[in-house]
Amino acid sequence: MPGDSDESLRQAKLSDLVYERIFEAIVSGDYPTNARLPSEVELAERYKVSRPVVREALARLRDDQVIISRQGSGSFVQRRPDSSTIGFGPLGSIADMQRCFEFREAIEGYTAGLAAERRSEEDAEGLVALIAELREAVSRGTLGAEADFRFHLAVADASRNRFLITALRSVETHAAFGIRLARSLSLARPRARLLEVQAEHEEICAAILAGNADAASAAMLAHLRQARLRVFEGSDGLEG
């Protein structure tokens, strides 16, 4: 019913807001690493929302591995994301970007599998050229964000499914934001991190060229999940 739909939308928007406020508090150091967050009741009172809204926001922070829940003890800060995540763009973009990654995980793994089954020689040449462009960006220590998204679009084009292609293009603004942020943060990490990102793209490409749909889907899904987690890593994140 329309009323139920409106209420669900309102709750989703509120959970975005609470997610962003808690995220910002963690990044700013109000809640340091290993610190216990206020209880759901306290957070609900602080942000003037219901407990289900708070619960949804906390669940997303757990998915991003920013916080961790311990049964009977509450939620604790697992890691403090880099402050660049706030300075890179409007705070509201963080919640949208996280949702965009979820959307991309839902469609791009399947898209890569279709690309492996349907790609043409021209598609293969285009993917190889983009891999070379990304490799050059790593070599020069430049961002390579545009080439990164063009690679994902090229995979979609190779699927020969106009609905999947349109779906990916429809989130280009948020997807590009996520790619720029993830690659910008990777540039600040040891070189091994950039090489890791490049290896993920090359694994996707190799599977598509080999016509291995299962491997292509798995490689794409793993890459997108890792990309999302890299965005939420702190400056003391894992090496490599």
| 50 and 13 Cβ atoms separated by less than 8 Å | no
**Per-residue confidence (pLDDT) for residue 240, from 0 to 100:** 33
Are 212 and 200 contacting, i.e. CB atoms less than 8 angstroms apart? no
Report all structural domains of the chain as residue ranges with CATH numbers, in order of start.
2-80 (1.10.10.10), 85-231 (1.20.120.530)
Per residue of the chain (240 residues), give pLDDT as tens: 445 555 555 666 888 889 889 988 998 889 999 999 999 999 999 999 999 999 999 998 998 888 999 988 899 999 888 776 665 555 456 777 778 888 999 999 999 999 999 999 999 999 999 999 999 999 988 889 999 999 999 999 999 999 999 999 998 888 888 888 888 878 777 788 889 999 999 999 999 999 999 999 999 999 999 988 887 765 444 433
CB 53 within 8 A of CB 15: yes
Rounded Cα distance between 40 and 121, Å, is 55
Query: Given this model, what pLDDT does residue 10 score?
Result: 64
pLDDT computed for residue 46 by the predictor: 94
Q: Is-above-0.85 flag for pTM?
A: no
Tell me, what's the pLDDT at 190?
A: 75
pLDDT number for residue 99: 82
The pLDDT, as a whole number, for residue 91 is 47
Token digits of residue 121: 């020689």
Whether 222 and 178 have beta carbons less than 8 Å apart is answered as: no
61 contacts 81 by C-beta, under 8 angstroms: no
